[in-house]
Chains A and B, each alone.
Chain A
Amino acid sequence: MNQVSTKYMNPYLAGFLLGAVLLVSIFVTGRGLGASGAIKDTVIAVVGKVAPDHAAESPYYGPYMNAERENPMKSWLVFELAGVLIGAFLSGLVSDRLSFKSEGGPFIANKTRWAFAAAGGALFGIGAQFARGCTSGAALSGMAVLSSAGFITMLAIFGTGYAVAYLFRRLWI
């Protein structure tokens, strides 16, 4: 399980290209990249379909359930994240990295890894709602436009990450 492929792109070049994609996005559409927002839109759409009465009453979903509002799935970020899925698949295809596997620290069983991955995802889902965005939408795009929100969110994510890293070192080293 402890294998890191070395044939990745030079990180600085990748960073430059990522910055260029972000720049094009801001230049053309006026907005940066994102990810968690599309998850939010999907959750709202699903709850709206499965439990419309519940959604209409809720202070969170309620505003989105207005008949005049567009379907929450018809959002910029949903289309963008669909693109991410396609783009990453294409990249995996050309670099021969398509395979079903899990990664983690050398001393961790797959099932434990999966449980922690799900827990981490849940925390990210919650945190991104408070911070109005995740690492891409709030931190990266926010930093590019020099917003205080971007820098504060970035520092909070990585600062806390370093603060608790030692506690969970068995997961990774």
Chain B
Amino acid sequence: MGPFVPDPISPELNFVIALIIGIAFGFVLEQAGFSSSRKLAGVFYGYDFTVLRVFFSAAVTAMGGIMLLNFFGLLDTEAIYINPLWLWPAIVGGAIMGVGFILGGYCPGTSICAAAIGKIDALFFVGGLFIGVLFFAEMFPAWERFHESSALGPVKVYDSLGLPAGWFAFALIVVAVSAFAVTSRIEKRVNRQAPANNFRFRKHLTVAVVTIFAGAVFISLPDRKSRTIAMASSLEHLEACETSYMSSDELAFRIVDKDPSMQIVDVSDSLAYNQFSLPGSVNLQIHELFSKEWNTLFARRHVRKILVAENEQDAVIAYHVLDEIGYRNLSVLEGGLPHFRSLILNREGAVLRQDSVNSVVREFRQEAGTAIHAMIEAQRDRPKEPDKKPRKITGGC
């Protein structure tokens, strides 16, 4: 499952990959005509809409590809870089860049391409870039506060608009195709030698219709997470698939025994987890189980993953989600944590303990209860969770 940085691709190898990706990026930009300021500026004056065509096609292709890779479980979209938003700096910065685009006729990436093939105006633009960054850096104290203002984090555009991701993707594809159609008409009117004059109408219409229909697929494409969770929670699935359970007694025995081939995974909400948790357990929400980060934890076949929760049903759902992802050697704590507490840990209410006919069992539960109590107490003083921050990939600019 991608991404493959930082594991298994090392930072050094990543630089080599950066160079290769850059070569492909530069080659395509130049082939598209982005090394020509005249062509780039054309998008603002209507005589050449190449920028719009290339830019939108690229954005839609990459977006669709990411959604499909995520759907098939090949890419962990939690781990990729999502540009965080600083609302007002983004708007003001974008506006400054917009003026820069009209004056300069390039953007940074395209100016490098143009400079590479000898465009002199591009060299001036690149020189300007350095001056601009230097100016920004030297004057930084003057706008440091603004630069850090209205930080909203890595928000997704469909969340901002309150749309499901699939609908947004479809809408974007429709907007892109419509924009291609409209701007091609404008371009033909403005410029007799416009690239659009070479487009064959029939062919383009077919491609447009096919693209829109293909785009409609995204509407019905639930993301893998919600699809798997919904399936794992469905009654039919629970009836059809077997769940392996572990009794409270066995779990208590393994905890006291400090069994190294066992990992308790608590899927209760963090509030409940903070109030009560078993020794050595990790707290994960069901939607977090998909993250690539936990792959190493769940993929260890010889380690039995015991799913526990305040509500047994939650642990069963987590069990089937993990089973669906492809992890093996799982168990659910029978009866959930409340049952475990009343059977093993509850000192006074010995009701359940009493109805056990076997005095050996009774004795074991008593001893285990005391031992586990001590372990929980000891754990209270230590930080409970391992570092839960996902290893985010840094990117941007």
A residues sitting closer than 8 Å to B (CB atoms) are 2-6, 8-9, 11-12, 14-40, 42-44, 47, 58-61, 74, 76-77, 79-92, 95, 97-105, 110, 113-165, 168-169, 171-173
Give Cα distance in the complex from A113 to B91, angstroms. Answer: 27
B249 in the interface (beta carbon within 8 A): no
Q: Given contacts A30-B393, A145-B81, A148-B156, are A80 and B19 in contact (CB under 8 A)?
A: yes
| Contact between A21 and B94, CB atoms less than 8 A apart | no
Give Cα distance in the complex from A135 to B113, angstroms. Answer: 14
Apart from the given pairs A90-B23, A103-B37, A117-B106, 10 other A-B contacts in the complex at a CB distance below 8 Å:
A35-B397, A84-B22, A89-B117, A103-B121, A117-B125, A123-B128, A126-B135, A128-B397, A132-B84, A145-B77
Closest to B126 in A: A121
Which 3 A-B residue pairs are closest in the complex by CB-CB distance? A120-B104, A83-B22, A125-B132
Which residues from B are CB-within-8-Å of A37? 396-397
Closest Cβ of chain A to B222, distance in Å, is: 16
B residues sitting closer than 8 Å to A (CB atoms) are 2-5, 9, 14-33, 35-39, 41-45, 47-48, 50, 53-63, 65-66, 69, 74-75, 77, 79-87, 89-122, 124-138, 140-141, 143-144, 146-147, 152, 154-160, 165, 168-169, 180, 193, 195, 198, 207, 393-397
Q: Given contacts A11-B53, A83-B20, A131-B94, are A120 and B100 in contact (CB under 8 A)?
A: yes
Which residues from A are CB-within-8-Å of B154? 147, 149
| Contact between B124 and A30, CB atoms less than 8 A apart | no
| Contact between B83 and A103, CB atoms less than 8 A apart | no
Q: Given contacts A81-B22, A92-B116, are A122 and B66 in contact (CB under 8 A)?
A: no
| Contact between A154 and B94, CB atoms less than 8 A apart | yes
Closest to A61 in B: B137
Closest to A132 in B: B396
Q: Given contacts A84-B25, A127-B97, are A5 and B3 in contact (CB under 8 A)?
A: no
| Contact between B50 and A32, CB atoms less than 8 A apart | no
Give Cα distance in the complex from A169 to B41, angstroms. Answer: 10
| Contact between A5 and B33, CB atoms less than 8 A apart | yes
Interchain Cβ contacts under 8 Å between A and B, 21 examples? A4-B48, A30-B3, A38-B397, A60-B136, A91-B27, A91-B28, A101-B118, A115-B124, A120-B99, A121-B128, A122-B131, A127-B97, A128-B108, A133-B83, A135-B110, A159-B98, A160-B97, A168-B102, A171-B103, A171-B105, A172-B44
